[in-house]
Each structure stands twice: as structure tokens, then as C-alpha cells.
């Protein structure tokens, strides 16, 4: 009776698995061919042997997508607006990034689709590059997804592919190390062998024993020296990186990655002195996000932070290469515009205002209308010092808010009206 019940249960399980697979067949079309032959177009092409270079920003984006999907999505959208030309390896990693971002409960089919697109590029990449953990991890992700869906066969095949690539990579690294060691010590070994052969036959055994002992001692000393030297260099490098990171943090706003208030003021006096000395134009722009408190109250501080970050990105895209944009307060940004008259500064400010109003409008299922008020001032009107010039732009910004928000006001116009 127990045996009959076991066979009946197994048959029911297989039947339910078949029905479930049939129902979901349309949704995951093409996913089952991950490990089959790729399109004949790719199969006819000869696999390259040269590694493709990968942009460091894509490597950072790939790492970010594993830990912070929201930040990775924002950065990916910014990348798409740049319309950059990517090579095959970079396109492969962008598919992996999209899969990582889509890796949430209920979206497993999207992860599989993105990874399938990445895997179809394999014939265009060098095998050694594909075997590296950076690329092979796609199979490990597929194995985990399939395992979570109960598709043990596909999970096993994916894990097997990953392990094959992993061990191939280890073997390749081992071959590199062995080859390097062989080349390093080949000349020295030959020299020692020739010296030993020239020794007198009567003391040959003693010379060989002594040479072997000395060589072993020398290797030990070299190993100790290299270990100590490597440790010292690593500590030195770590200390240097920490100092560089601290310097960067002291100058950078963590949310927008723009220069902070401290760096802005340290550069401001220099820019103004150069403009006055060279008798050149210089303008200051102060931008304040309208009603950010209402956004924080209604949608949460995460939505407010997202608005601040997007304003920083859009304003930075509008700046000229020689302009200096910084975040100097909670919802306040400032920019130094070298060689820009008040008319040119107004044109830049209007462009920023229009771009922000047109591009930031949505958060989850709620609409957020984001606008900014901008004040500008020029050294044509204020020449005393940088603080006075910044104060004039600040007054103009407050005038823009008093006039009803979403406006650009200049200090010169405000002063004439008053």
C-alpha cells in the first residue's frame, strides 16, 4: 500500500509539473535555450582571442546593481541618455546589470530574459574573458533563479556551466603563475647548473650539497623579503587610499556627488580674482528647489533625496565644461559661470529651470511636479568680494520665490526695480 501511494504521488507531481510548464511556456519563451546552440549567425563567426576593454563606469555600475538596485537604476538611466557606443563585453555586462536590477520576487522571468540576451553574446567574446568571474556569474544567477522556481534540471545545468568556467579560470590563472615563475627563474637556474658542472669532480658532491643549501636559504630570504615588502606596500597603499577617500569625502556631497559647500567657497574667491585681474565676465547662479518640504512630507525623504539627486544631474548636464556646480545646502545648489555675462547666465539658468520642470515629474504611483527658483548676479554689478557676489545672487533667488517660484531673477534687474 505504501509503495502504491508513493508511485501515485510521484505521478501526480510529474503531471502538475508538466501542466505548470505548459501554462508558463508563453511567458518564458526562449529561456529554455540558454545552453543550446546560439543563432546560426553567431555560430558561423570565429570566436575572438582578444579581450574587450571595459569602461570602469560599467564595472562600478555592475557592482552597484548587486547592492543598491534603485541607485543602479538611476545611474543606468543616466547612462542611456548619453547614447554611448559600447563594445560586446560592455553590452554583456549591461544585460547582467539589468538582470540584477530586475532580481526581485515575482520578476524572475525578466532576470532570465536579460541573462539570456547576455549569454547570446558569448560567441563574440574570448573564452578566457568569459571564464572570468565577472562574466561567469551570470550562470550562477541563473542557477539560483531556476532553483527558486523548482526547475532543478536547469539549475543543475546552470551551476555546472558556472563551475566549468570557474575551474577553467582557476586553471588559466595557475598556468599564468607557473609560466611567470618558470621565466623568472629559468636564467638563474641555468647559470647555477653551469657553475656546478664546472666544479672539480673531487669536490662535486660537496659543492652540489652546499649550493643546494645556499639556494634554499636564498629562496627563504627572498620569500621573507618579498612578503615583508608586499605587506609594507599594501599597508602604504591602503593608507594612501584612505587619505584620498577622506580628502574626497571632505570635498564632495555624498548624495549628488557634486562638490560641497566647502569646496565651492574655496574656489569662489580664486575664480573672482582671476576674472577681475583679467577684466573678464563672471556670474554666479543660486538654485533652490521649490517646496521640497512638501515633497518630503507627502512622499517621504527618499523621494526628496531622489529629487535632489536628479536636480543635480540635470543641472550638471546643462553646465558648460568650464562651469563649477556645487550643492551648498539641503535643497540649494550654486554655480560659478566664468566668462558669462548676466545675459548668458540668465540663458543658462532658464535652460536649467525648463529642463528640471520637464524631466522630474514622477515617483512610484504619484505625480510630483518639481520646479526651481534661480537667482543670478554678475561682477559687473558686484565687485567687492565673492561673498558679496554670492549674497546678491541669493537675494535674487529669494525674489524669484517671492514672485511665485519657478522663475529666474537677476540681481541687476531686482536692484533697478527697487
Asked if residue 290 lies in contact with residue 401, where contact means CB atoms within 8 angstroms, the answer is yes
Residue 369, SS3?
coil
Q: What is the 3-state secondary structure (H, E, C) of 349-368?
A: HHHHHHHHHHHCCEECCEEC
Backbone angles phi, psi at 326, to 5 degrees: -145, 155
| CA distances, 358 to each of 135, 318, 371 (Å) | 38, 14, 9
- What does the DSSP assignment read for 166-182? HHHHHHHHHHHHHHHHH
| CA distances, 162 to each of 133, 134, 180, 376 (Å) | 9, 11, 27, 58
| CA distances, 258 to each of 40, 329, 365, 408 (Å) | 48, 12, 29, 22
Cell triple for 182: 618558470
**Separation CA 396–CA 387 (nearest Å):** 14
- What does the DSSP assignment read for 315-357? HHHHS-TT-EEEE-SSSEEEEEEET--HHHHHHHHHHHHHHHH
Say what the pLDDT of residue 20 is.
35
Asked if residue 332 lies in contact with residue 285, where contact means CB atoms within 8 angstroms, the answer is no
Provide the 8-state DSSP code for 36.
Answer: S
**Separation CA 129–CA 204 (nearest Å):** 50
Say what the pLDDT of residue 209 is.
77
Say what the pLDDT of residue 38 is.
36
- DSSP lists the bridge partners of residue 334 as 286, 326
Provide the 8-state DSSP code for 282.
Answer: E
Say what the pLDDT of residue 1 is.
46
**Separation CA 57–CA 51 (nearest Å):** 18
**Separation CA 63–CA 79 (nearest Å):** 15
Residue 291, SS3?
coil
Each residue's pLDDT, cut to its tens digit, for the chain (418 residues) gives 455 555 555 544 443 333 333 333 333 333 333 333 333 334 345 566 678 888 888 888 888 888 888 888 888 888 777 777 889 888 998 899 898 888 888 888 888 899 899 899 889 888 888 888 888 888 888 888 888 888 888 888 888 888 888 888 888 888 888 887 877 777 777 777 777 777 767 677 777 778 777 888 888 888 887 887 787 677 677 666 656 555 555 688 889 999 999 999 989 989 999 999 999 999 999 999 999 998 898 888 999 999 999 999 999 999 999 999 999 988 999 999 999 999 999 999 999 999 999 887 654 445 678 999 999 999 999 988 999 999 999 999 999 999 999 999 999 755 555 5
Asked if residue 109 lies in contact with residue 28, where contact means CB atoms within 8 angstroms, the answer is yes
Say what the pLDDT of residue 350 is.
95
**Separation CA 368–CA 387 (nearest Å):** 34
Say what the pLDDT of residue 378 is.
94
Asked if residue 272 lies in contact with residue 282, where contact means CB atoms within 8 angstroms, the answer is yes
Is 8 exposed, middle or buried (CB count within 10 Å of its CB: 0-12, 13-18, 19+)?
Answer: exposed
**Separation CA 303–CA 306 (nearest Å):** 5
This prediction has a pTM of: 0.43
**Separation CA 315–CA 353 (nearest Å):** 9
**Separation CA 241–CA 229 (nearest Å):** 18
**Separation CA 119–CA 80 (nearest Å):** 21
**Separation CA 409–CA 418 (nearest Å):** 13
Amino acid at each position: 500500500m505504501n509503495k502504491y501511494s508513493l508511485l501515485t504521488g510521484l505521478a501526480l507531481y510529474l503531471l502538475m509539473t508538466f501542466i505548470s510548464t505548459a501554462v508558463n511556456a508563453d511567458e518564458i519563451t526562449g529561456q529554455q535555450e540558454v545552453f543550446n546552440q546560439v543563432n546560426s549567425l553567431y555560430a558561423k563567426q570565429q570566436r575572438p582571442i582578444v579581450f574587450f576593454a571595459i569602461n570602469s563606469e560599467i564595472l562600478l555600475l555592475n557592482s552597484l546593481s548587486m547592492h543598491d538596485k534603485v541607485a543602479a537604476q538611476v545611474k543606468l538611466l543616466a547612462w542611456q541618455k548619453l547614447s554611448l557606443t559600447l563594445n560586446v563585453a560592455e553590452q554583456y555586462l549591461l544585460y547582467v546589470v539589468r538582470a540584477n536590477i530586475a532580481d526581485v520576487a515575482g520578476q524572475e522571468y525578466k532576470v532570465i530574459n536579460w541573462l539570456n540576451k547576455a549569454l547570446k553574446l558569448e560567441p563574440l567574446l574570448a573564452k578566457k574573458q568569459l571564464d572570468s568571474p565577472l562574466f561567469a556569474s551570470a550562470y550562477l544567477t541563473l542557477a539560483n533563479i531556476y532553483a527558486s522556481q523548482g526547475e532543478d534540471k536547469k539549475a543543475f545545468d546552470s551551476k555546472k556551466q558556472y563551475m566549468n568556467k570557474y575551474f577553467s579560470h582557476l586553471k588559466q590563472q595557475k598556468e599564468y603563475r607557473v609560466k611567470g615563475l618558470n621565466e623568472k627563474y629559468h636564467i638563474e637556474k641555468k647559470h647555477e647548473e653551469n657553475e656546478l658542472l664546472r666544479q672539480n669532480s673531487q669536490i662535486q658532491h660537496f659543492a652540489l650539497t652546499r649550493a643546494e643549501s645556499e639556494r634554499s636559504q636564498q629562496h627563504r630570504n627572498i620569500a621573507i623579503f618579498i612578503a615583508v615588502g608586499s605587506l609594507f606596500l599594501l599597508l602604504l597603499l591602503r593608507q594612501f587610499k584612505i587619505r584620498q577617500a577622506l580628502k574626497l569625502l571632505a570635498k564632495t556631497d555624498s548624495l549628488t556627488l557634486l562638490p560641497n559647500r566647502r569646496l565651492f567657497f574655496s574656489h569662489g574667491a580664486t575664480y573672482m580674482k582671476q576674472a577681475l585681474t583679467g577684466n573678464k565676465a563672471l556670474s554666479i547662479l543660486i538654485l533652490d528647489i521649490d517646496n521640497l518640504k512638501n515633497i518630503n512630507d507627502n512622499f517621504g525623504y527618499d523621494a526628496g533625496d531622489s529629487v535632489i539627486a536628479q536636480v543635480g544631474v540635470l543641472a550638471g548636464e546643462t553646465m558648460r565644461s568650464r562651469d563649477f556646480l556645487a550643492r551648498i545646502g539641503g535643497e540649494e545648489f550654486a554655480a560659478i559661470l566664468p566668462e558669462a555675462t548676466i545675459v548668458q547666465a540668465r540663458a543658462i539658468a532658464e535652460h536649467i529651470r525648463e529642463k528640471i520642470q520637464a524631466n522630474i515629474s514622477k515617483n512610484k504611483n504619484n505625480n510630483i511636479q518639481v520646479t526651481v527658483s534661480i537667482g543670478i548676479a554678475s561682477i559687473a554689478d558686484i565687485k567687492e568680494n565673492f561673498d558679496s557676489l554670492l549674497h546678491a545672487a541669493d537675494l535674487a533667488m529669494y525674489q524669484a520665490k517671492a514672485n511665485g517660484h519657478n522663475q529666474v531673477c537677476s540681481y541687476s534687474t531686482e536692484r533697478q526695480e527697487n
